Amino acid sequence: IFLLGVWLPAWIMAQTTPPTQGTTSPKPQNDRLQFRLVGYPRKHNEGRIEVFYKGEWGTICDDDFSLSNANVLCRQLGFVSATGWTHSAKYGKGLGKIWLDNVQCNGGEKSIELCKSRGWGNSDCTHDEDAGVICKDERLPGFVDSNVIDVDEDRVEEVRLRSVVPTKKMPVTEGVVEIKYKDGWAQICDVGWTPKNTRVICGMLGFPHERKVNKNFYKLNTERQKHQYRLHSVACVGTEVHLAACPLESNKGNATGSCEGGMPAVVSCVPGPQYVQNNGLKKKHTVRLKGGAKLGEGRVEVLKNNEWGTVCDDRWTLLSASVVCRELGFGSAKEALTGARMGEGMGPIHMNEVQCLGTEKSMWNCGFKNITSEDCQHLEDAAVRCNTPYMALENSVRIVGGRTYYEGRVEVQVGARWGTVCSASWTTKEAMVVCRQLGLGYSMHAITETWYWDSSNVTEMVMSGVKCTGSEMSLSHCQHHKTVSCQKTAAKFSAGVICSETASDLVLNAPLVQQSVYIEDRPLHMLYCAAEENCLSKSAASANWPYGHRRLLRFSSQIHNIGRADFRPKAGRHSWVWHACHGHYHSMDIFTHYDLLSSNGTKVAEGHKASFCLEDTECHEGISKRYECANFGEQGITVGCWDLYRHDIDCQWIDITDIKPGNYILQIVINPNFEVAESDFTNNAMKCNCKYDGHRIWLHNCHMGDAFSEEAERKFEKYPGQLNNQIS
């Protein structure tokens, strides 16, 4: 039997008696405050917090909300403490009253009632601002069970598709819908079942669409089996991201009812193109996800006027996020993330206050506002995590011997055998695929000697010549040798990885290059240091030193870290190289490539490979600098900071002495050898159209490698050059 599982939520309600405040008259004994966690998608110890007061359930607004408030509420729910809280209706919008607003607790109060607030029922919020809490999954000792009313004793916790036809093909797209019940599985009665219910189930299991199913085939198959029906009368509207959000009825107590005139609910789902083998169709989308570790998650970017831009997170909800997910071939949204949780974008912000109903085919069909720079900043970039089909990919790879769950020697399963991987040609790209396959985020380091992780009894090498693009879902999808061929087959030389939930993301400020470019004829007697550091083209070696000059194309580079982890050089301090000429240490051999290319892509100016000292030159407001080159300081670029190489520092140029007048492409590539892990390598190259008339230079269309649409990029490559120096 082949299964596809996804978690569904539970909800908890607790009641406590609030102590009386000061000299106020005590409340009647039957007027007890009650609390519950609701919403989706979530686990049993988290959710939208709702309070029962004066006979009515209501929510709490997120204004002034804090961890102290969450601690008080979690204790009232019977948990020991809070580990976090959420804003902007992360678990869905509540209905009815907003009971409390501007709540400010110290954290030690026995009841939320004793905290400062605007008073019961006094609020200027909407349900878009409903607060949620995440409690530590540990119950308060002595918290009497009768105080915790489990409203839904038959709560649905897990759902799966049971295929009745044995198959090894993944993902499972069709079968009987089953929900976890006690230690087994139960069915749903399909009387009154609609395609909208199927749409919700398929969305939860990672599929964008549903299709009709041959019920007669299943009727024959299921008639021979005994069934336990726990749910009936499911009535989804089709836009829910979760079965728990649909109206449904369960059989009370221990009863597993019959299903008069029906049979177990069966669904058939259509997988997205990424999950269909040999899918030749490549659909052009006007929306994409960037910076996520896994397929189906990332910062949302949309294409407008041939340029990609981000979406502001005001009013960003699971409904809008689900439209994005389904459009891209995934299921409904698991999370609608706000506050640049998948890193900040660069360039324009195209949309704000997106409001989808959930039925739209594309986000462009939803209501939204165009944006002005006052409305939003990249700190507010919206992101999503989509439901994706279960592929069982993590079962064919493992990492062993590490100090933590996130590191170790790589072992893969080939047929029935487990074995090691040859570390020749093992790079960040291959390591990225392993970390993604195991759901461990990004690769921080690709390790080529793993003798210090020698705890496994697996010694046979089963894979070699692995070459990945870095975007594959599994190591088996990468190129590799048909038969193992490796110089060093000993286990201590096999491949290893260190994974991390977060990574840096470097990106160049393209407009600054365009604004700062100029030509300088620099005398040779001022270029001895530069020659020593190989910053000049080869012909400089045969020049008549110190007489004459070199013609240099100069510009400023500003390199931003827009990721979620600091960018640190791969090499430790012990191997940094001292450059006496410039008086500082270089922590990376090759940090950038500077190249001038002809229109057909061949290099015409020998772009030198620049190595630099990495430091924080400036940071966004509220972020402090951590790295500086002076005094053998730590090197790196902090998240939210940038490293500026001004046009007037040594080697910040391309030597164009031997270049004839013409039209060219200027290309700058950061971290070209993928030495340091980044969440997104597609934005590491910057290109400009370049016209050189023998005396002056003009740059146009400077942009990041992934900033334009395919059509605009093709036009850029065919750029004929300026006919004059007038910029249209």
Write out pLDDT tens, residues 695-724.
Answer: 899 998 898 877 777 777 777 776 544 443
- 61, with CB counted inside 10 A (0-12, 13-18, 19+), is buried
How many helices (H) and strands (E) the chain has is answered by 8, 44
Give Cα separations from 51 to 32, 99, 113, 184, 644 (angstroms): 10, 7, 11, 34, 52
Residue 346 has pLDDT above 70, yes or no: yes
- Of 293 and 710, the structure prediction assigns the larger pLDDT to 293
Residue 623: alpha-carbon gap to chain centroid: 22
Write out pLDDT tens, residues 165-179.
Answer: 887 788 999 999 998
The answer as to whether 78 is a domain residue is yes
The proportion of the chain whose per-residue pLDDT surpasses 70, expressed as a percent, equals: 86
Domain that holds residue 163: 158-271
Residue 129 has pLDDT above 50, yes or no: yes
Check: CB of residue 25 under 8 Å from CB of residue 175: no
Check: CB of residue 336 under 8 Å from CB of residue 320: yes
Do 189 and 175 sit in the same domain of this protein?
yes
Residue 256 has pLDDT above 70, yes or no: no
Do 583 and 656 sit in the same domain of this protein?
yes
Residue 90: alpha-carbon gap to chain centroid: 17
Q: What is the C-alpha separation between 49 and 100, in angstroms, rounded?
A: 11
Write out pLDDT tens, residues 81-121.
Answer: 998 899 988 888 888 899 999 999 999 898 999 999 999 99
Do 101 and 44 sit in the same domain of this protein?
yes
pLDDT value of position 604: 84
Of 601, 605, 597, nearest to 690 (Cα)? Answer: 597
pLDDT value of position 610: 61
pLDDT value of position 725: 37
Do 96 and 114 sit in the same domain of this protein?
yes
- The length of the chain, given as a count of residues: 728
E-only strand ranges, 312-460 = 333-337, 349-355, 367-369, 383-386, 397-401, 407-414, 417-421, 442-447
Q: Which of 69, 103, 135 represents a domain boundary (last residue)?
A: 135
Q: Provide mean pLDDT across the span 43-55.
A: 87
Do 350 and 365 sit in the same domain of this protein?
yes
Domain count of the fold of the chain = 5
Q: Which of 387, 420, 449 represents a domain boundary (last residue)?
A: 387
Structure tokens at 375: 């409305």
**From the CB of residue 281, how many other CB atoms can be counted at a distance below 10 Å?**
6
pLDDT value of position 587: 55
Structure letter (DSSP) for residue 428: H
Residue 688: alpha-carbon gap to chain centroid: 29
- DSSP letters spanning 509-572: -HHHHHHH-EEEEEEGGG-HHHHHTT-S-GGGGGS-TTSSEEEEEE--EEEEE-SSS-B--SS-
pLDDT value of position 727: 34
Structure tokens at 183: 């230690």
The answer as to whether 316 is a domain residue is yes
SS3 assignment, position 51: strand
Query: Measured in Å, how far apart are the chain's first and last C-alpha atoms?
Result: 65
pLDDT value of position 143: 66
Of 565, 571, 573, 566, nearest to 588 (Cα)? Answer: 571
The answer as to whether 2 is a domain residue is no
Average model confidence (pLDDT) across the chain: 83
The proportion of the chain whose per-residue pLDDT surpasses 90, expressed as a percent, equals: 33
The answer as to whether 27 is a domain residue is no
The answer as to whether 23 is a domain residue is no
Structure tokens at 704: 């990041």
404 pLDDT band, cuts 50/70/90, is confident
Q: What is the C-alpha separation between 368 and 312, in angstroms, rounded?
A: 10
**From the CB of residue 18, how many other CB atoms can be counted at a distance below 10 Å?**
18
pLDDT value of position 571: 65
Residue 567 has pLDDT above 50, yes or no: yes
Q: What is the C-alpha separation between 391 and 436, in angstroms, rounded?
A: 13
Do 539 and 462 sit in the same domain of this protein?
no
- Of 405 and 371, the structure prediction assigns the larger pLDDT to 405
Residue 589 has pLDDT above 70, yes or no: no
> Which CATH number do you get for residue 424?
3.10.250.10
Q: What is the C-alpha separation between 14 and 50, in angstroms, rounded?
A: 10
Do 441 and 524 sit in the same domain of this protein?
no
Residue 272 has pLDDT above 80, yes or no: yes
Structure letter (DSSP) for residue 465: -
Q: What b-and-e string marks burial along 675-691, b requiring 16 or more CB atoms within 10 Å of the CB?
A: bbbbbbbebbbbbbbbb
E-only strand ranges, 402-487 = 407-414, 417-421, 442-447, 461-463
Structure letter (DSSP) for residue 286: S
Do 130 and 176 sit in the same domain of this protein?
no
The answer as to whether 277 is a domain residue is no
Structure tokens at 364: 């462009």
Q: Provide mean pLDDT across the span 589-618.
A: 78
Residue 8 has pLDDT above 70, yes or no: no
The answer as to whether 365 is a domain residue is yes
Q: What is the C-alpha separation between 313 and 333, in angstroms, rounded?
A: 15
Of 528, 523, 527, 519, nearest to 554 (Cα)? Answer: 519
Do 606 and 701 sit in the same domain of this protein?
yes
Do 172 and 42 sit in the same domain of this protein?
no
The answer as to whether 280 is a domain residue is no
Do 245 and 304 sit in the same domain of this protein?
no
Q: Which of 500, 531, 563 represents a domain boundary (last residue)?
A: 500
Residue 252 has pLDDT above 70, yes or no: no
Of 428, 437, 442, nearest to 399 (Cα)? Answer: 437
Q: Provide mean pLDDT across the span 342-351.
A: 88
Check: CB of residue 14 under 8 Å from CB of residue 76: yes
- Of 25 and 486, the structure prediction assigns the larger pLDDT to 486
Residue 654 has pLDDT above 80, yes or no: yes
Do 213 and 293 sit in the same domain of this protein?
no
